[in-house]
Chains A and B, each alone.
Chain A
Amino acid sequence: MTHDLLFSITGVVLIGIGLFGSVASTHIIKKLIAINIMGLGIFMIFLSTARHGMITDPIPHAVVLTGIVVAIAGTSLCLWLALKIHLLGEDTTEEVNANDV
């Protein structure tokens, strides 16, 4: 029983790290990596619920699989945008509009 609890705790820790990374860092790529770490943490928690003694519950696996694909799609879109921004202009820290509070 303690096995999956251990996994969930690590998952939570991973989420913590991911959250801190995404909020604290301002560099886009760092932020993206942090978000992925957080995603993995969540998937870990989800998977930790699958083990019930002898029976393994297939639902979390399917869900996590779909989650991974979606996360990839999201990350690749962000990368694509970051790359285009990088190509477009030198001004890296452009404020979108003056009075954006």
Chain B
Amino acid sequence: MMSDLLTPLLLPLMVATPLIAALVSILVGSKRLRVGISLLFAILQVLIALGLVLFLSTYQSAIRYELGGWGAPLGIDLTVDGLSALMLMLSSVLVLVLSLYSSQYFSHQDSVRFWPLWWLLIAGLNAVFLAADAFNIFVALEIMGLSAVALVSLGGSRAALMSALRYALVGLLGSLLYLLGVALLYRAYGTLDLLMLSTVADHNPLTWVSLSLISLGLLLKTALLPLHFWLPAAHSSAPAPVSAVLSALVVKASFYLLMRFWFDVLSPATNEIGMTALGVLGAVAIIWGCVAALRAQRLKLLIAYSTVAQIGYLFLLFPLATASGSSMINAGTIAAVVYFILAHALAKAAMFLAAGDIQSYYGHDNINKLKGLVLTLPMAVATFAIAGVSLIGLPPSGGFIAKWLLLESAISSGKWWWAVIMLMGGLLAALYIGKVLSIAFNQDIDRPTVHRPAQNRSAFYGFTLAILAVFCGFNTEWVLNLLEVQFERPLMTSGGVQ
């Protein structure tokens, strides 16, 4: 059947589109043309992702594409299963909206460098989600890392450059540790392909060491608590769309890899202590992130700290996934965490866009000086509030569904203390969201003149993202059974989908 042949082609296309977009945006001279073409490519990317998702949900089977026709161990493969298809869909939708936002956010001078780096970052992201080869992941991680650093440094201010540098150093260190882990795996098992590794890997000290190295490298990039110091500075000093994509996608990509390695590839090497350790770190991250967010003086800093906290939530997956000792990974928790990623990405991106509007209107984003914000930028406040709702996990938002599923798995697996942590996290999040809202609603501002409410279109994009965050809380059926699509072991026969 026709579509059967063409669909696998979508995978390489998924990586090629951003690359081509990057090349074109480098070569193209005028800003308007560059922006137009970029929007076209963004729409194309969404269509491809949609095609992939539809294919998966109808045929319920994962796709594997062998680049260069050489087959798994020798050549490199691209694979897509339920989880990665969902992540691709999320990132392409988000990229579309953020591209629309940044089409008029950047001055001509900046946009020359912004668009190519933006597309290279997206290429890196797509490569990570599609990668099935350990070393290929390293290169993709590196593309994503470096282009993220370059985008953060776009700001040009000293703070931006310093935080970009710190982010670069951390990124480099993380990637090298990851590479060391891959080297050990190659030494022990002789193959770089993830699927082969998952069949061959067993519980011996070398695998355990390489898993911990890989995890350390990825934790550095995901900014879990002790290794999070670089995130607040980087995310808060970057331009709005960049910090949105950083918080929403880049950090999640390394978490996606962690999930792949812990639950898919090297799952025999994982053990109870490691899982609970990650869980505890996550819990501490939630509490600490919220407290720091409460004390933050600048809005973007507050949002960045809230990212640190929300990442803590993600790591609660590890202790809850293995239902009390049995190696069987309970699918409900993974679905919950994926939902969390979905909801958090949309909500956090919306928040950063709102913060971007506030910064461009006021010139600063010092929270205490934002009194009467509700008069001047009503749309920004609405976006911030709705996104806040999803972060806290109040119904009817996606965040609520995620929290519900996590709570349910926590209680059904009898580990109720994680549930307490989650509820505490929700309340703390409510604290700092409430703080910002109460300042925004404070209308007895000394300047009686009512500001002309800024009517720019950019506020609209943040608002749509926030609404998306709420609406993905409704029809969860579709998302959850998409996640069921997984690779059956053992090795699929080569040559595309049978």
Which positions in A face B, CB cutoff 8 Å?
Answer: 8, 15, 22, 28, 31-32, 35, 38-39, 42, 45-46, 48-49, 59-60, 63, 66-67, 70-71, 73-75, 77-78, 81-82, 84-85, 88-89, 91, 94, 96-101
Contact = CB atoms under 8 A, between A and B. Distances in A.
Nearest to A74: B172
B485 interface: no
Judged by DSSP, the binding face of B is helix
A63 B137 CA distance: 12
Contact of B233 (A77, A84, A89, A97): A97
B153 to A, nearest CB: 6
Interface in B212-255: 229, 232-233, 236-237
Interface of B: 135, 138-139, 142, 145-146, 149-150, 153, 158-159, 161-166, 168-169, 171-173, 175-176, 179-180, 183-184, 186-187, 192, 229, 232-233, 236-237, 292, 295-298, 301
B159 A74 contact: no
Contacts of B297: 97-99
B168 A81 contact: yes
Which 9 residue pairs are nearest across A and B when measured between Cβ atoms? A96-B233, A46-B183, A81-B165, A49-B187, A74-B172, A42-B180, A70-B142, A85-B161, A78-B168
Contacts of A81: 149, 153, 161, 164-165, 168
Nearest to B141: A70
Contact of B292 (A22, A39, A99): A99
A58 B175 CA distance: 22
A63 B236 CA distance: 35
Contacts of A32: 169
A82 to B, nearest CB: 6
Contacts of B149: 77, 81
Contacts of B164: 81
Contacts of A77: 146, 149-150, 168
A98 B232 CA distance: 12
Nearest to A96: B233
A34 B26 CA distance: 34
B136 to A, nearest CB: 10
B173 A22 contact: yes
B180 A45 contact: yes
Contacts of B229: 100-101
Contacts of B142: 70, 73-74
A63 B149 CA distance: 24
A78 B172 contact: yes
Nearest to A45: B183
Report which residue of A32, A59, A96 has the largest number of chain B beta carbons within 10 angstroms of its beta carbon. A96
Report which residue of B150, B171, B183, B292 has the largest number of chain A beta carbons within 10 angstroms of its beta carbon. B183
A28 B165 contact: yes
Contact of B176 (A42, A84, A85, A100): A42
A35 B172 contact: yes
Judged by DSSP, the binding face of A is helix
A78 B139 contact: no
9 contacts: A59-B192, A67-B138, A70-B175, A75-B172, A81-B164, A85-B165, A97-B233, A97-B298, A99-B292
A70 B142 CA distance: 7
A96 B162 CA distance: 8
Report which residue of A31, A89, A99 has the largest number of chain B beta carbons within 10 angstroms of its beta carbon. A99
Given A35-B172, A45-B187, A46-B186, A73 B146 contact: yes
Contacts of B145: 74
Given A66-B139, A70-B142, A99-B292, A60 B186 contact: yes
Given A22-B173, A74-B146, A77-B149, 8 more contacts: A8-B187, A28-B165, A63-B135, A63-B192, A70-B138, A96-B163, A96-B166, A97-B298
Contacts of A97: 159, 232-233, 236, 297-298, 301
Contact of B158 (A48, A70, A89): A89
A90 to B, nearest CB: 11
A59 B183 CA distance: 11
A96 B159 contact: yes
A66 B154 CA distance: 27
Contacts of A89: 158
Contacts of B236: 97
A4 B357 CA distance: 58
B287 to A, nearest CB: 13
Given A96-B159, A96-B163, A15 B180 contact: yes
Given A66-B139, A96-B162, A35 B176 contact: yes
B295 A42 contact: no
Contacts of A96: 159, 162-163, 166, 233, 237
A74 B161 contact: no
B491 to A, nearest CB: 19
Nearest to B166: A96
A53 to B, nearest CB: 14
Contacts of A73: 142, 146
B162 A49 contact: no
Contacts of A49: 183, 186-187
Given A42-B176, A70-B139, A96-B237, A101 B162 contact: no
